[in-house]
A = this chain, B = another copy of it.
């Protein structure tokens, strides 16, 4: 709990103060933070990095803070949020109909959340829709539906369990006629070397929808779900195809395939298990047993490469400041020079790949691609890198829609606006993550 005791913290929750990071003030000296920092250093060393290199010096602390902030839900209690925000509100007389504090759906849609996948420790994005049917002549403050969802999102999660936990917490907190939760989840695909090389249709995202219902929503064939579905349709949200809840359900995380490939560095695996323990979780919980191995295998994708490899469509890289992925597309333009042969797209892709699969910052990646391309293509090269950074959504600032572009201009591109514009105009619009 850092500097605050739980009693005080719950008072803040009840009064609706923003929780973003508050519990973490002063937590730099906490033994949990220090333990995570030590583990992150082991991971960096396992990647062949110098932990004292300028760009990496504060990385262990940043990673520790982001992880603790991103799992603050373990230290929050839901009842205090809800019970401080129940307001009396008249309903209709029995028999006339349903509205207000007695029946009539209330739904809040398009809540942006993120959570950490318990399978691989990478963040996943959630578009959350929560509804309930009031009863007992009372309604709950609308923002509390968001706050409660956030408490469970800020833990190591499986999306179906997240839906179930939010649903059941609201049901017991508000005591309404029923609660429904629909989650649209996006998990980044694993940029595993093998799949990146051999699967040219490799998709960037795994998308899946999850639902949970309690009370009148418990039966997923109940009429009331029809109303809920209609209210989502107004916003263009279609959730017919949800993940099955029966025995055919398998974890959605693409890391499961990867963990079966060969052994991982045991020191790094122990370090990740120790991080999980420091976050307040039990690394021996069944769903977490393989997580350290999977995370290490993900991380090892970003060990420095020593030779060029084959084709790649989009690029993936790992931000060296936060040890979180960023991914996107690279556009390379060049002016053909007499005596220099044009090079194929596959070689350009290999260059991107070579510089992408290591700990990086986007600015450096852009420069390095430009330098290498220029050595092959003559001096007139321009590179635009468009990327989404997980660190921009899964840390304090939580800027869900943001995205970054970086530019390198060499030779004539650096002085000739017309050439730059011509190249820029040839670039198609960049799709938003998950579209």
Chain A residues with a Cβ under 8 A of chain B: 4, 12, 15-22, 24-25, 28, 54-55, 58, 61-62, 65, 69, 87-92, 96-101, 103-112, 134, 139, 141-143, 146-147, 150, 223, 226-227, 230-231, 233-236, 321, 361-364, 366-367, 370-371, 374, 379, 381, 383-384, 386, 389, 391-392, 395-411, 413-414, 417, 420-421, 424-425, 427-430
Contact = CB atoms under 8 A, between A and B. Distances in A.
A363 B410 contact: no
B366 A98 contact: no
A4 to B, nearest CB: 8
Given A363-B104, A363-B134, A421-B226, A54 B88 contact: yes
21 contacts: A17-B25, A18-B24, A21-B21, A54-B88, A87-B321, A92-B367, A98-B408, A99-B383, A100-B366, A100-B408, A104-B366, A108-B402, A108-B404, A142-B392, A143-B392, A146-B402, A150-B397, A226-B421, A227-B424, A234-B386, A235-B429
Nearest to A142: B404
A68 to B, nearest CB: 10
Given A367-B100, A408-B97, A417 B143 contact: no
Most buried by B among A4, A150, A363, A389: A363
Contact of A363 (B58, B101, B111): B101
A109 B143 CA distance: 27
A99 B402 contact: no
A395 B143 contact: yes
B90 A231 contact: no
A25 B28 contact: no
Contact of A109 (B366, B396, B402): B402
The 4 closest A-B pairs by CB, nearest first: A18-B396, A20-B20, A18-B21, A99-B408
B406 A105 contact: yes
Nearest to A105: B407
Contact of A92 (B96, B384, B410): B410
Given A96-B379, A106-B406, A233-B424, 20 more contacts: A15-B58, A16-B62, A54-B87, A87-B361, A89-B364, A96-B410, A97-B370, A104-B406, A104-B409, A105-B406, A105-B407, A107-B404, A110-B403, A139-B361, A142-B389, A227-B420, A227-B424, A230-B427, A233-B429, A235-B430
B386 A17 contact: no
Copies of this protein in the assembly total: 2
Nearest to A100: B367
Contacts of A15: 28, 58, 61, 65
Contact of A100 (B108, B363, B425): B363
B104 A227 contact: no
A383 B98 CA distance: 10
A143 B397 contact: yes
Contacts of A19: 20-21, 396
Nearest to A423: B230
A18 B395 contact: yes
A331 B158 CA distance: 37
A409 B107 contact: no
Contacts of A90: 364, 367
Nearest to A57: B87
A112 B399 contact: yes
A234 B231 CA distance: 32
Nearest to A99: B408
Contacts of A18: 20-21, 24, 69, 395-398
